[in-house]
């Protein structure tokens, strides 16, 4: 018998497929079939919140297609599960790839193949999506266009890969006990991680207990990726905590939705972090003493009871917005000598 989680994953199949060959009519029908008319669509800055499938298509997906007319969607993780509160979620991660021939939100086109990572979470009720949370890594596109107007990443920027285990899309049927054990491991890891610095030095986080020595941490463009515990700490965690040492100390102000699917775990929340920028050292941002919220959509893959891979997308453009930095205004200022418009470039077999 097909489980409810497998059925929810299958319900998203036509929507994902319509974005692979980008069949506009099929995409519209797929959106209407699976997304409730009053569903809330939470998208990254600058898209904001939308309501219903028509707005999702018109104000987001069609905008991407206009800039990348041959765009295709490539998922490398699709997983499903329920939260402790009994909510049913499906998480998807992958890339949009296509030829960048027209401006995308004022990002100038290149005429070249371009990639943009996405993380998406769909909450289901009675077979219909009633809530979407999604982040597109727009800074990744700005960087490929040579138009990123802010500080360079400390970590490595590259086209982030899917799971090394090649089981992000096809794996054994979901086992509830294993899925819960995976969730428990991640929650325990995070509970230890937030002990530093309030409860002591870095050792209180017990990172080797939870993370594989050869782990890969795939951060968003603007932060970049890192390998190994040392790489993770050097290129992301130390600057992050130096700048915002109160992270994890405002639990009443955030919501977390954890769900597991065998050896995969996901967490979402809109937002799911609150902290105060009190010192220098993160993203080249001057300390302001201002509290900010972060929207982070994360996936973990567990191997041998340790985390081997972690994919993280943070809505960094919204972070800058909260701090009074208009990234798109800066982008336009830095690139005002570039000629805007459509690149005359043949696509496909043309």
For residues 90 and 214, membership in a common domain is answered with no
For residues 71 and 195, membership in a common domain is answered with no
Q: Report the predicted TM-score, pTM, of the whole model to 2 decimal places.
A: 0.96
* DSSP bridge partners of 299: 266, 311
| Inside any domain, residue 345 | no
Nearest-5° angle of CA 38, CA 259, CA 19?
55
pLDDT one-digit tens code per residue, 224-271: 999 999 999 999 999 999 999 888 777 777 889 999 999 999 999 899
Residue corresponding to tokens 């993780």: 77
For residues 192 and 307, membership in a common domain is answered with yes
For residues 39 and 100, membership in a common domain is answered with yes
pLDDT-based confidence at 348, cuts 50/70/90? low
Question: What range does the domain containing 188 cover?
Answer: 176-333
| Inside any domain, residue 233 | yes
Beta-strand pair 306-314/211-218: parallel
For residues 143 and 207, membership in a common domain is answered with no
> Residues 6 or more apart from 85 whose CB is under 8 A from it?
257
pLDDT of residue 1: 44
CA distances from 92 to 135, 167, 236, 293, 298 (A): 11, 13, 24, 23, 10
| Inside any domain, residue 156 | no
DSSP, res 32: H
Final residue of a domain: which of 148, 166, 190? Answer: 148
For residues 322 and 224, membership in a common domain is answered with yes
For residues 326 and 181, membership in a common domain is answered with yes
pLDDT of residue 7: 97
| Inside any domain, residue 163 | no
| Inside any domain, residue 161 | no
For residues 119 and 29, membership in a common domain is answered with yes
For residues 184 and 98, membership in a common domain is answered with no
| Inside any domain, residue 154 | no
Q: Which two tokens stand for residue 297?
A: 């959509």
For residues 63 and 101, membership in a common domain is answered with yes
For residues 98 and 8, membership in a common domain is answered with yes
> What average pLDDT score do residues 280-294 get?
88
| Inside any domain, residue 197 | yes
For residues 117 and 214, membership in a common domain is answered with no
Q: What is the DSSP string of 208-265?
A: HHHEEEEEEEEPPTTT-EEEHHHHHIIIIIHHHHHH-TTTT--GGG---EEEEETTEE
H or E stretch at 141: helix 138-144
Is pLDDT at 349 greater than 60 in this prediction?
A: no
DSSP, res 61: I
**Number of domains composing the chain:** 2
pLDDT one-digit tens code per residue, 194-216: 888 888 888 999 999 999 999 99
CATH number (domain holding residue 226): 3.10.450.50
């Amino acid at each position: 018998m097909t489980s409810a989680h497998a059925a929810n994953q299958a319900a998203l199949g036509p929507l994902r497929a319509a974005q692979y060959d980008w069949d506009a009519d099929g995409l519209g029908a797929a959106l209407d079939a699976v997304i409730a008319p009053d569903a809330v669509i939470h998208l990254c800055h600058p898209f904001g919140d939308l309501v219903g499938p028509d707005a999702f298509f018109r104000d987001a997906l069609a905008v991407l297609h206009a800039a990348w007319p041959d765009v295709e969607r490539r998922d490398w993780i699709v997983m499903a599960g329920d939260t402790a509160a009994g909510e049913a979620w499906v998480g998807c991660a992958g890339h949009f790839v296509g030829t960048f021939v027209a401006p995308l939100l004022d990002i100038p086109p290149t005429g070249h193949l371009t990639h943009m990572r996405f993380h998406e979470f769909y909450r289901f009720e009675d077979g219909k999506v009633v809530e979407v949370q999604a982040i597109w890594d727009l800074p990744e596109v700005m960087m490929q266009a040579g138009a990123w107007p802010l500080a360079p990443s400390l970590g490595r920027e590259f086209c982030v890969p899917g799971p090394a285990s090649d089981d992000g899309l096809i794996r054994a049927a979901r086992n509830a006990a294993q899925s819960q054990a995976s969730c428990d491991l991640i929650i325990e890891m995070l509970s230890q991680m937030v002990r530093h610095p309030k409860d002591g030095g870095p050792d209180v986080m017990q990172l080797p207990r939870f993370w594989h020595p050869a782990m890969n941490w795939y951060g968003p463009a603007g932060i970049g990726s890192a390998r190994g515990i040392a790489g993770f700490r050097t290129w992301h965690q130390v600057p992050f905590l130096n700048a915002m040492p109160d992270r994890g100390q405002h639990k009443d102000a955030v919501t977390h939705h954890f769900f597991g699917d065998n050896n995969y775990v996901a967490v979402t929340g809109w937002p799911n972090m609150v902290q105060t920028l009190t010192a220098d050292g993160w993203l080249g941002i001057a300390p302001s003493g201002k509290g900010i919220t972060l929207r982070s959509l994360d996936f973990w893959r567990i191997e041998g009871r340790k985390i081997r891979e972690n994919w993280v997308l943070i809505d960094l453009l919204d972070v800058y917005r909260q701090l009074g930095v208009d990234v798109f205004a800066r982008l336009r200022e830095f690139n005002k000598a570039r000629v805007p418009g459509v690149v005359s470039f043949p696509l496909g077999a043309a």
